[in-house]
C-alpha cells in the first residue's frame, strides 16, 4: 500500500518526449500489471521484454522493450536506471547495484540498444532513487575491488561523510571506518564513457536511506528492522 504523501518521482528528461511514460514508484507500489520484469540476480544479463513476461519468469537484471509493453526493475538501495532511445523509440529498465554495475549490466543494456538502431546521442537516461554517498559506507577491501575493475575509470568516494541537506531522517552512521561511496556517480561515469552526452543523463537526488519515503532501504532495515518494501521503476513507449 502506498504510504500517505509518498511521491511518484519522474525525471524531467524522460518526461519531455511525448511518446514516453515512466515512473519511479514509492516503496511497496506495483507497476502496471502487464509489465515485463526479470528475476534479478545482480548480474549483467539483459533480455527482451517477451522473455521477462509474466514477471520474474527468467533471470535478468535488465529488460528492453521494442514495443509498447512497459518494462521495470525493482530496487531497495540499488540504482534503477531507465533508458529511452529517441531514435527508435525503444526503452530499457536496468537494475544496477554495485555488483551488477561492476559486472557490466549498463554496458550490456546500451550495447543491445545500439544493436537495435540507437546511437549514443539518441539515448536519454535517468538514474532513480538509490543509496547515496551520504549513507553508503564501504570498506577498503571493496574499494580495492572497485578501483581494480577494468570498467571503472575514476570512482568517487569521500573520507568524511557528506551531509545531505535533503535528509528527512538521520543519515547512516559509520560502522567500519570506511569511505562513503558515490554509486550514482559510478553509473553516470560509465554512461559517459559510452559516449552518452552528459546533458542526456539525469540523476535524481534522492537517497533511499535518508531522503526517500519510509521502508525504501534494505540496508537501513538491516540496522533498524523497521521494514522495507521493493521500489519499482518502469518505462513504456506509448501506443
DSSP the chain: -PPTTPPPB--HHHHSSTTEEEEEPPTT----TT-B--B--SS--EEEGGGG-STTSSB-SEEEESSS--EEEEESSSEEEEEEETTTTEEEEEEE-HHHHHHTHHHHHHHHHHHTT--GGGEEEEE-SB--TTT-EE-HHHHHHHHT-TT-SS--EESSPPP-TT-SSPPPPPSSS-EEE-HHHHHHHHHHHTT--GGGEEE---BTTTTS-TT--HHHHHHH------EEEEEEE--
Q: pLDDT confidence of 17, banded at 50, 70, 90?
A: very high
- Residue 2 pLDDT exceeds 80: no
Integer angstrom CA distances of residue 130 from 2, 60, 133, 135: 18, 19, 10, 10
Give the per-residue pLDDT at 1.
37
- Has residue 5 been placed in a domain? no
- Has residue 71 been placed in a domain? yes
177 or 81, greater pLDDT: 81
Could you tell me the residue range of the domain that residue 202 belongs to?
Answer: 12-131+184-237
The mean pLDDT of 114-120, rounded to a whole number, is: 98
CATH number for position 82? 3.60.140.10
pLDDT tens-digit map of 23-73: 999 999 999 999 999 999 999 999 999 999 999 999 999 999 999 999 999
Contact 140, 178 (CB under 8 A): yes
- Has residue 2 been placed in a domain? no
CA separation for the pair 187, 229 (Å, rounded): 23
Could you tell me the pTM of the whole model?
Answer: 0.96
pLDDT tens-digit map of 172-222: 999 988 899 999 999 999 999 999 999 999 999 999 999 999 999 999 998
- Has residue 177 been placed in a domain? no
225 or 112, greater pLDDT: 112
* Cα end-to-end span (Å), the chain: 28
Give the per-residue pLDDT at 176.
87
- Has residue 38 been placed in a domain? yes
pLDDT tens-digit map of 146-182: 999 999 999 999 999 999 999 999 999 999 888 999 9
Q: pLDDT confidence of 126, banded at 50, 70, 90?
A: very high
- Kindly report which listed range (1-5, 85-89, 136-140) carries the lowest average pLDDT score: 1-5
Give the per-residue pLDDT at 220.
95
- Has residue 160 been placed in a domain? no
What is the tally of structural domains in the chain? 1
- Has residue 61 been placed in a domain? yes
Instruction: Supply φ then ψ for residue 234, to 5 degrees.
Output: -135, 160
Would you state the cell numbers that stand for residue 189, as one nine-digit string? 561515469
- Has residue 168 been placed in a domain? no
Give the per-residue pLDDT at 5.
56
Amino acid at each position: 500500500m502506498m504510504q500517505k504523501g509518498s511521491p511518484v518521482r519522474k525525471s524531467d528528461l524522460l518526461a519531455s518526449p511525448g511518446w514516453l511514460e515512466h515512473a519511479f514508484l514509492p516503496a511497496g507500489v506495483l507497476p502496471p500489471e502487464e509489465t515485463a520484469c526479470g528475476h534479478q540476480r545482480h548480474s549483467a544479463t539483459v533480455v527482451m521484454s517477451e522473455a521477462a513476461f509474466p514477471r520474474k519468469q527468467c533471470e535478468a537484471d535488465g529488460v528492453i522493450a521494442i514495443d509498447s509493453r512497459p518494462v521495470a526493475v525493482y530496487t531497495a538501495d540499488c540504482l534503477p536506471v531507465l533508458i529511452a532511445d529517441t531514435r527508435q523509440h525503444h526503452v530499457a529498465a536496468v537494475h544496477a547495484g554495485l555488483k551488477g554495475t561492476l559486472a557490466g549490466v549498463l554496458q550490456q543494456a546500451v550495447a543491445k540498444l545500439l544493436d537495435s538502431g540507437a546511437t549514443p546521442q539518441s539515448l536519454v537516461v535517468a538514474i532513480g532513487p538509490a543509496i547515496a554517498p551520504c549513507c553508503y559506507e564501504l570498506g577498503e577491501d571493496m574499494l580495492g575491488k572497485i578501483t581494480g575493475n577494468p570498467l571503472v575509470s575514476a570512482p568517487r568516494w569521500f573520507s568524511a561523510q557528506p551531509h545531505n541537506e535533503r535528509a528527512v531522517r538521520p543519515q547512516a552512521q559509520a560502522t567500519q571506518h570506511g569511505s562513503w561511496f558515490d554509486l550514482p556517480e559510478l553509473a553516470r561515469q560509465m554512461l559517459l564513457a559510452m559516449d552518452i552526452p552528459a546533458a542526456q543523463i539525469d540523476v535524481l537526488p534522492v537517497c533511499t536511506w535518508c531522503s526517500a519515503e519510509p521502508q525504501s532501504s534494505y540496508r537501513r532495515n538491516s540496522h533498524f528492522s523497521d521494514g522495507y518494501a521493493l521500489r519499482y521503476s518502469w518505462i513504456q513507449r506509448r501506443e
